[in-house]
Structure 1
Amino acid sequence: MNKDLEIIDQRIEKLFKRISRTRYWIQIVNDPYDQTYNFFFNSQRRGERLKSVPLHKLVNYQLTYLEQLIKGLRAKTNLTIEFTGFTGMRWPTTHKIIQWRREQLE
């Protein structure tokens, strides 16, 4: 198994509590300035504030590597994966758009 995937998977297992009325998802943020991909574990109970915990910083800044990592991650978890900072970019092998809409500033 990929070392980055192993680290992310272990951290998700520790954080995923399966509490009722709580939404869980993974957020992957493209940081073009530091040339990294940052992974976050997000959870939000109904009526409460969002809790976002950093999972891992991927320093291999190649979309092909990220694409393979995400395939492995999807095989291990059914959590929703949300992408930020990928507007207009496409996956190298499938050519599908990664992120359709621009992020909204709050």
Structure 2
Amino acid sequence: MREESKLLLERYDHYFLRQYNYRYWLLIVTNHFDSCHGFFLESQKKGEAIIHSNELLELPFASGLYDEVFRALRAHSHLRIIYRDTHHLVKMVPAVTFDPLHGHRHSTAYLPPERKKK
């Protein structure tokens, strides 16, 4: 077994606490921005909106490495797996143009050239 697989399973066992009234699932993210695969264990307490996420492993894009680690994880865990890809983001949000609490006292929206003050 590869060292990466051992590390992933060790972290999985550490964070998977099997607590009462908690839901657990695995999240695998193909991150094209950082050229890596991210493995996460997520949990949510019954009745709460907050989702707790624990990073298990980050693998660089390399041939064969992802498949081996994934097979080891599937053999070790029977949790549901959700796949995400940064090419298809879950929630596209517009850029912040006005936020007085975080330093944007004035709108940062771009003005058309004819309205700009000179």
Q: How high is the TM-score relative to the length of structure 1?
A: 0.75
Q: Which residue of 2 aligns with 1:72?
A: 72
Residue pairs, 1:54-93, within 5 angstroms: 54-59=55-60, 61-62=61-62, 64-85=64-85
Q: Which residue of 1 aligns with 2:51?
A: 50
**Is the counterpart of residue 104 in structure 1 residue 90 in structure 2?**
yes
Identity, % of aligned pairs? 26
Q: How high is the TM-score relative to the length of structure 2?
A: 0.68
Counterparts of 2:4 and 2:43, CA distance in 1: 22
Q: Which residue of 2 aligns with 1:40?
A: 40
Q: Which residue of 2 aligns with 1:28?
A: 28
TM-aligned CA distance change 1:65 to 1:41, over 3 Å: same
Unaligned segments of structure 2, at least 5 residues: 93-118
Larger radius of gyration: 2
Residue by residue over 1:28-54, the C-alpha shift from the partner in whole angstroms, topping out at 9 and shown as x without a partner, is 111112111111110001112100111
Runs of 4+ in 1 over 4 A off after TM superposition: none
**Is the counterpart of residue 4 in structure 1 residue 15 in structure 2?**
no
Q: How far is 1:65 from its partner?
A: 2.6
Unaligned segments of structure 1, at least 5 residues: 88-101
